[in-house]
Homo-oligomer: A and B are copies of this chain.
Amino acid sequence: MVIERPVPIANRVNSILRQRIFDGEFAPVGRLPSETELASEFGVSRATVRAALGQLAAEGLVVRRQGDGTYVNKRVSQVSSQIGTIWDFKRLIADNGFTATIEAISTDKNSATEDEAAALEISPGEDVLSLVRLFLADDIPVIHSTNVIPLSLLCTDGFHFEIDLPIHEILKQHCVQDIGFAITKISASLVSPELANTLRIEPGVSVLHFNEVIYNTDEEPLVYANNFCDSRYLKLRAVRSWA
């Protein structure tokens, strides 16, 4: 039995305000009620409201002007798929206006390669699970994703995975591990012949390459991933707030 911890009030306030922003409730002026008013409406302290607004401001979703008020950032609120918050390729595809489907290419037990072993801090040759998937946007292959997990971390038998789920959900279901953070190296590269074949694109096309290691809260590696993304179809965006 897992006890669910209550969601902090500040987060709930954040969610409500985010919803209202996307629902356009503050249009056309785009001005939010004052912090005091919001505190009164939700029956919480102003500090709590400020925590919620602070998160929204950090994402660039709202702009706060001292002595004036808090306003919706229309540019940013119409943008989605922000890098830094992307944990779900399916959602990335949907945010780009496509219908996302996922194909499992393979879910095999393998021996860890040198690269994989180094990243996962295990011995080369140790058993790992390789989960290879293809993400399609309106039936166009756009992301080739490989996730490698040490077999020793899996606490369920059999290789039955909900391949539609993002990797962190799969981890949650099949490992006891809690994800802490991930470090991703971003680069551009040419598709390899095999990859070009799988993604059904011409060799020589340039793709985004995400080389990632996911760690638990104890800084131990859980997953080693290589994701290749056809950026002709998927728009990745980064929003930077001037803080």
Which residues of A are in contact with B by a Cβ distance under 8 Å? 58, 60, 63, 65, 73-76, 79, 83-87, 168, 178-190, 204, 206-209, 215, 217, 219, 229, 231-232, 235-242
Copies in the complex: 2
* Interfacial chain B residues near A235, Cβ < 8 Å: 185, 187
CB <8 Å contact, A231 and B187: yes
- A239's partner among B73, B74, B182 (CB-CB below 8 A) is B182
| Residue pair B239, A183 in contact (C-beta under 8 Å) | yes
B207 touches A240 (CB 8 A): no
Task: Assess whether B187 is in contact with A208, with CB atoms less than 8 Å apart.
Answer: yes
User: Within the complex, what minimum Cβ distance (angstroms) separates A183 from chain B?
Assistant: 6
Q: List 16 A-B contacts (CB under 8 A).
A: A63-B217, A73-B180, A73-B219, A76-B181, A83-B83, A84-B240, A168-B242, A183-B237, A186-B231, A186-B237, A187-B231, A187-B235, A188-B189, A188-B207, A188-B208, A190-B204
B residues within 8 A CB of A236?
185-187
Is the CB–CB distance between A188 and B206 below 8 Å? yes
| Selected contact of A242 from candidates B180, B186, B241, CB within 8 Å | B180
Given pairs A75-B181, A79-B183, A183-B237, 9 additional interface contacts (CB within 8 A): A75-B219, A76-B181, A181-B241, A183-B238, A183-B239, A186-B186, A186-B237, A186-B238, A187-B208
Most buried by B among A86, A207, A219: A219
Q: Which of A74, A229, A237 is most buried by chain B, counting CB atoms within 10 A of its CB?
A: A237
Known: A186-B237, A238-B186. A181 touches B219 (CB 8 A): no
The residue in chain B whose Cβ has the minimal distance to the Cβ of A216 is: B242
